[in-house]
Structure 1
């Protein structure tokens, strides 16, 4: 007897014939799998990716902290100092007062003796940071991309080894 029209061939295994009728098979016809088995390959690969990317992030963050202070809002303060320093250095002659430059006024005499020296220091520190970031960032990005596109855990391990060697060469 043919399957009724409401039963698709791909789901026929869920039904059984009883006389002239098709009945849904009872749950006991589908015993649960007693063993969960190993973690699916896709899940293991995804887990390896997460661990690798976390390591890449941690290592590059630690390396960046050699050049910048890791404190909430500090990056915004450094950018504001740089902007203020550039504006100050653009003036000719140097201003007689620091009224328009509150960050310079707050720090002059502590980090450097004069506003001009302090502004130069801030601009130079930004240049040093940018040079370091220009070396760190392509290594980080390449490693993350390689890990994200790896087809096997072995490829992830190779990507991490390559990353460690490249980043270790910077420091």
Structure 2
């Protein structure tokens, strides 16, 4: 005697939905880890980066060159901590900002694309394929 089990469509859908949710969590966690290779992940750090960039641009645009860093509190604090001159520090900050503007959108597009593909997947095997391609792509993002 052969026993045949038939699963309901609702059961299959629930299993697929759980696989999609797990895959989406994996993608988002992997992207978070990848971003941390390029930027510091601390509460409020994004605001610090934006303010440092703003200060660096303003410093470099000032004519004549500012006599001190009183108007640039983030740069003043970082220059004191690192020993970099204001000019050096402004250049470093803008270089890092430019680097992030190059890699950040690629990382985000990979995250969004993977999540869209996962949401549209109709089998667990399709999800596995998406995750394989995703992992290969993410491994290709390397800091300079």
TM-score (norm 2): 0.86
* Residue 97 (structure 1) aligned with residue 97 (structure 2): no
Inter-CA distance 147–89: structure 2 relative to 1 (3 Å threshold)? same
CA distance in 1, matches of 2:83, 2:118: 45
Inter-CA distance 70–133: structure 2 relative to 1 (3 Å threshold)? same
Of 110, 123, 129, 1:139 maps to: 110
Structure 1 or 2: more helix by fraction? 2
Structure-2 residue corresponding to 1:154: 125
Structure-2 residue corresponding to 1:25: none
1:30-56, Cα deviation, whole Å (9 max, x unpaired): xxxxxxx77711111110011001110
TM-score (norm 1): 0.73
CA distance in 1, matches of 2:83, 2:95: 13
Larger Rg: 1
Count of residue correspondences: 135
Of 19, 33, 38, 1:67 maps to: 38
1:54-104, Cα deviation, whole Å (9 max, x unpaired): 110111111110111111111111111111111111112211122211111
Structure-1 residue corresponding to 2:96: 125
**1 or 2 for the larger relative contact order (CA 8 Å, sep ≥6)?**
2
Deviation of the 1:109 alpha carbon: 3.6
Deviation of the 1:112 alpha carbon: 4.5
Preserved CA contact (<8 Å) 1:112 1:118: no
Q: Which runs of 5+ in 2 are unaligned?
A: 1-6
